Structure 1
Amino acid sequence: MTTTEASTNFPALFTPLQVGTHTIQNRIGMSALTRNRATRSYPTELMKEYFVQRARGGNGLIVTDGILITRQGTEWQNAPGIWDEKHISGWKNITDGVHEAGSKIYAQLWHLGRVSHPDAPEQKLAGIPVYAPSAISARGGKFRFLPGQPGYTTPTELDEPTIWKLIGQYKQAAVNAKAAGFDGVELHGANGYLVAQFLDNTSNHRSDQWGGSAENRARFGLEILKVFKEVFGQDVAIRVSPTGGYNDVGMPIGDTIETFSYFLSEADKLGLAYIALVRYSSFFDIEIDGVHRSTKFDALEALRPFIKNARLFLNAEVTPEEGQQYISEGKIDGIMIGFNMVTHPDYANRVKTGKPLDNTPNYQYTQRNLSDEDWYTGYTDYPFAK
């Protein structure tokens, strides 16, 4: 097969797309992943090299690691943040590089809620308890940088003033992201972190306006999206994983459909740039006490009718063939690629030119507790196709 023939295999993937106020060159985005390579929460030159590589690789939209909105709410000592001027400067260095390489970049803004730990270094510096919608600990979990296997702690239930304070911290993080030159912000509403903890009725047992009904459990995430809109206008997005599983969340199918059909329809009415929908993946289907926590169903089929305005990106082991088919059928607007984008910085260019995804993953160096001498290994050294 010649390069010219190969490049016509996926024409739908390589059609430009209007996302919010920006046009991206193709329908392939790099999804947010936790790379954990900041230095005590501050972005580094290594991170710039990583993101710029993937922008140079022809990928239309870059989404950052989860970026912590506040020192309180950290799980790993090397996750990046965006709560002070030094963070802004560090991220500006990265966004400038990505823009020069021809791509767009969104900041994924993040709070871990109950899956932080009081002994995490940044959490201790914050001097604030681990918070969650309800005082219900997540099961499972381990912290590689803490001695032993402490597991998750029972969090402090958020009171009303603190909930609004957190929403204000999300807004300030968006203001900082704007100052850092990001093209938009994506709310991390997936994978059992704080927004998902509010949405899920196994982690949210509140009886006030923030819990109980689907409408009340959706309120926290919707209020954050509203303050993001005040800062970024149309350039606001959200990532959700309705099938649950990871970090001990997951509801029965009826509750799941009720909750996410309401949440996504209301979020969609706000005029978002895109919604990133994480479909079922066995990787996130955590087994606890002999029971799988995921609710296995076709999230795209079930929830697509509730998204009428925002662009829809599908995530979780999506192939180019699926992307081409679903875009052509009008089911989605683009795909988000995670692990394959880590191991193939030129993912989009390889797909376009018919070159194989043949870089071998070095799983040892995907771990989050690397020693100093291993810090640069398995992160920015995956080769481009020749």
Structure 2
Amino acid sequence: MTSNIDLSPLFQPTQIGAVTVRNRVLMSALTRNRALPTNVPNDLMVEYYRQRAESAGLIVSEGILVCQQGYRARRHICIYSWMLSGAFSRTEWPHAPGIWNQEQIHGWKKINDAIHGAGSKSFAQIWHLGRVSHPDAPDQIASGQPVYGPSAIAARGGRFRFLPGIPGYVTPTEIDDPVKLVALYKQAAINAKEAGFDGVEVHAANGYLIHEFLDSGSNIRTDEWGGSLENRSRFGLEVLQAVIDIWGTGRVGIKLSPSGGYNDMGMPLEETLETYKYFITEIDRLGLAYIVLQRYSEFLDPIIDGKRRAIKHDVVHAYGHLVKKSTLLSNGDFTPEEAAEYIAAGKVVGVFWGHLWVSHPDLAKRIQNGKPIDTPIDMHNLYGNACGTTLDDQRVGYTDYPFAEYP
């Protein structure tokens, strides 16, 4: 990899809230579906994170479920994920890890020990699926709870490949008292501290619960949790305050995807701008460790009813100037050169990458040393080798990607 662009801004240490990171090459949350045979982090996951922690400045964990309402399949069924006709054909996240019990906390503690031992820092991305779960998923049944959403409006699409007939999304049960769900995030924040994370990232993007409350297409409530900008923002702000009560502002971040698209999300542009300008302004008043704005990505914009769903716009330009007390970060198909230019120009402080970290476990070191970043992703095994029954099987497309050779 050769470039005339000065990449040194990527490798300057910086402060993100209360956390000092050694470089600005950050690893975003990446669901990988390897918490087998249960949703408890395992030794293979320890190795996966350790590999990438050798050069990453900050690692945000894959989305960690705050409660048992999830997708994990208890029986062995072959699952395949790939890009098909421009639409993302998903597994709906079987075998995603949780953080609601002691066994899970212990598993994450082992991962964080490995990350810290390799010189990196870690934030837990805490995650509630909201309306995009399925009532027939084994863990959803075991939870004894219905599929909740802010309103009884189903998302279009979805392919639950581990369920008979590969059903799509269902109409959720409107949550009667959202405060009950806020409490789940608070307990997850408590558990994340016990597990040894350096902070918590609240997942408010990609069509999951907080995003569902923000979007007027999925939230048509007429009480204090819906309708106006203030009311649709209330749930996310309440979650943030609950997490801050545990961690303090300097160790709490939030991820936003204003362009929408994923999980059938998106409002008209004018309403999107109005909503996110208000929400980001209110978030920034808290002085969080960071706000990460996810740029438009075709990968996260599946085709629904023959067309893409996202509301494309330049999110850093549209909202970046509103971030004054928090640290502004971004992600979404940056090249290293573009990321360095954004940092040098003061547009962002650091940049997250996702897929490049999948197939380049030494990504930051590769960029710094001019090594190629062209290893293709094994899409067949991106979300787990579901036809494999052992952790050795699950290494394929996970921990078996090559490191570059260095002098």
TM class by shorter chain equals over 0.9
What residue is the counterpart of 2:299 in the other structure?
283
What residue is the counterpart of 2:371 in the other structure?
355
Determine if the alignment matches structure 1 residue 331 to structure 2 residue 347: yes
Conserved in 1, the CA contact under 8 Å of 2:161 and 2:167?
Answer: no
Q: Which amino acid aligns with 1:283?
A: F
Conserved in 2, the CA contact under 8 Å of 1:73 and 1:130?
Answer: no
- Structure 1 Cα separation of the partners of residues 196 and 383 of structure 2: 29
What residue is the counterpart of 1:14 in the other structure?
11
Conserved in 2, the CA contact under 8 Å of 1:135 and 1:154?
Answer: yes
How far did 1:8 drift? 8.8
Q: Which amino acid aligns with 2:68?
A: R
Conserved in 2, the CA contact under 8 Å of 1:109 and 1:173?
Answer: yes
2:212 equivalent among 197, 206, 211: 197
2:165 equivalent among 132, 148, 151: 148
What residue is the counterpart of 1:125 in the other structure?
142
Deviations 1:345-367 (A, max 9, x none): 11000000111113232111113
What residue is the counterpart of 2:222 in the other structure?
207
What residue is the counterpart of 1:48 in the other structure?
46
What residue is the counterpart of 2:103 in the other structure?
86
What residue is the counterpart of 1:70 in the other structure?
67
Q: Which amino acid aligns with 2:199?
A: G
Q: Which amino acid aligns with 1:312?
A: L
How far did 1:285 drift? 2.0
**Aligned counterparts, 1:240-279, within 5 A:** 240-279=256-295
Q: Which amino acid aligns with 1:55?
A: A
Secondary structure at the residue paired with 1:29?
Answer: strand
Secondary structure at the residue paired with 1:372?
Answer: coil
Q: Which amino acid aligns with 1:159?
A: D
Q: How many residues align?
A: 380
How far did 1:306 drift? 1.2
Conserved in 2, the CA contact under 8 Å of 1:69 and 1:111?
Answer: yes
Determine if the alignment matches structure 1 residue 343 to structure 2 residue 359: yes
How far did 1:43 drift? 0.3
- Structure 2 Cα separation of the partners of residues 281 and 78 of structure 1: 25
Deviations 1:246-280 (A, max 9, x none): 00010000110011111111111111101111011
Determine if the alignment matches structure 1 residue 305 to structure 2 residue 344: no
* TM-score (normalised: structure 1): 0.96
Deviations 1:318-371 (A, max 9, x none): 111111111111110000000000110110000001111132321111134622
1:375 equivalent among 394, 399, 404: 394
Task: Quote the RMSD (CA, aligned, Å).
Answer: 1.5
Q: Which amino acid aligns with 2:185?
A: Y
- Structure 2 Cα separation of the partners of residues 272 and 81 of structure 1: 24
1:111 equivalent among 128, 131, 156: 128
What residue is the counterpart of 1:222 in the other structure?
237
How far did 1:73 drift? 4.2
Conserved in 2, the CA contact under 8 Å of 1:7 and 1:352?
Answer: no
Q: After TM superposition, what 4+ stretches of structure 1 lie above 4 angstroms from structure 2?
A: 5-8
Determine if the alignment matches structure 1 residue 98 to structure 2 residue 95: no
Q: Which amino acid aligns with 1:139?
A: R
Query: Is the deviation greater in 66-75 or in 255-264?
Result: 66-75
Conserved in 2, the CA contact under 8 Å of 1:6 and 1:353?
Answer: no
How far did 1:375 drift? 1.7
Secondary structure at the residue paired with 1:128?
Answer: coil
Conserved in 2, the CA contact under 8 Å of 1:77 and 1:122?
Answer: no
